[in-house]
A and B are shown apart, each in its own frame.
Chain A
Amino acid sequence: MTGSPAETRYRDGARRIVPIAIAGGIFAASFAVLAPAAGFSRVQAVVMSATTFAGSAQFAAISILGTGGSVAAAVLAAALLNARYAPISVTVADQFTGNPLRRLLEAQLIVDESWAISRRPDGRYDRHLLIGAGLLMYCTWVGGTALGTLIGEALGDPKRYGLDAAFPALFLALLVTQVRTRPALAAAVAGGLIALVLIPFTPAGVPIIAATAACLIGLRRS
């Protein structure tokens, strides 16, 4: 090592993400255990993990459906939760080459964790780390979901165990990973307050969608 940037390979990304990927697999299994409460079959849980591959959106969709929210509210909340992937994907866009279909497929490996791990000290992003890490995360995510459906089948209806109490804790833990800045903290608090005020007056799902108004905090010049 003489100060020149080290060559990376896809397997370096996979190796660095191993502990996070294992945790992701367990998290995905918990998604599969909770999904039947929203009317999901085993196949549907696995298909959603394979096509959406974004934890908070998946948990949001099943929690909204499971508590009587509409399809529209579930879709909108999940899609808006993933809206951050538009600016995230822009930061790594120069690392993708080839035809549009290939770029679209490879872009699916962008998740919060693979994105964070692929950031280089110079502020740019490393393609090999991103793709390698994303691929391993994808495998444990979908595999963990499949394993979770087997555990879920053995357990039975999650509502019987009061697993609905897992959701607020789950979203709180996910929230902590998203509030690294002051505006993000302000948006989280404002979103929570908007929901609290609207719960008694609006159908399930509406307080969550209305809370997106808190993102207007981003318009303030900082």
Chain B
Amino acid sequence: MSPVWTVILLVGLATIGLKGVGPVLLGERVLPSRLSAMLFLLAPALLGALVVTQAVGGDRELVLDARLLGLGAAIVALLLRVPLIGIVVVAAVVAALARFLS
């Protein structure tokens, strides 16, 4: 199986299973509160890491380039309460302009 299909299959199965934990497996029972708290913190921890790796990550090195300018523009857009898709477009356009001008 190609790497892409493998990812699609495994991520799909994991997600389907995770969403079914309450309605299918546990019913009215609840998860231990500390486990629940940890599971809720996984998404912010991973998203924080993804912001950093996508902004300055290279092949085993930190790379400071137009992506960082794009992220800076995104932060400004975020503070101005621009909707999600607008934030993404602003970042892409600023990075593209920076690359074009350099």
Binding site for B on A (CB under 8 A): 23, 26-27, 30, 38-41, 44, 47-48, 51-54, 56-58, 60-61, 63, 65, 67-68, 71, 74-75, 77-96, 100, 103-104, 106-108, 110, 161-176, 178-179, 183-185, 187-196, 199-204, 207-208, 210-219
Cβ-neighbour of B34 out of A67, A71, A187, A218 (below 8 A): A218
Contact B48 A61 (CB under 8 A): no
Task: Tell me the count of chain B residues lying within 8 A, CB to CB, of chain A.
Answer: 76
Query: Which residues of A lie under 8 Å from residue B48 when comparing CB positions?
Result: 175, 187-192, 195, 211, 214
Contacts of A80 in B (CB 8 A): 42, 46
* Residue in chain B with minimal CB distance to A98: B23
Q: Is the interface of B mostly helix, strand, loop or mixed?
A: helix
Q: Residues on B close to A: CB < 8 A?
A: 3-8, 10-12, 14-16, 18-24, 26-31, 34-62, 66-67, 70-71, 73-75, 77-78, 83-85, 87-92, 94-96, 99
Q: Which chain B residues border A90 with CB–CB below 8 Å?
A: 21-22, 26, 29-31, 36
B46 closest partner in A (C-beta): A81
CB–CB B51/A163 < 8 A = no
**A201, B6: Cα distance in complex, Å:** 27
- Across chains A and B, the number of contacting residue pairs, with CB separation under 8 Å, is 316
B71 nearest in chain A by CB position: A168
Of B10, B23, B27, B88, which one neighbours A166 at CB under 8 angstroms? B88
Query: Contact: B92 with A161, CB < 8 Å?
Result: yes
Given contacts A60-B50, A83-B18, contact A183 B84 (CB under 8 A): no
Chain B residue contacts of A94, Cβ below 8 A: 27-28
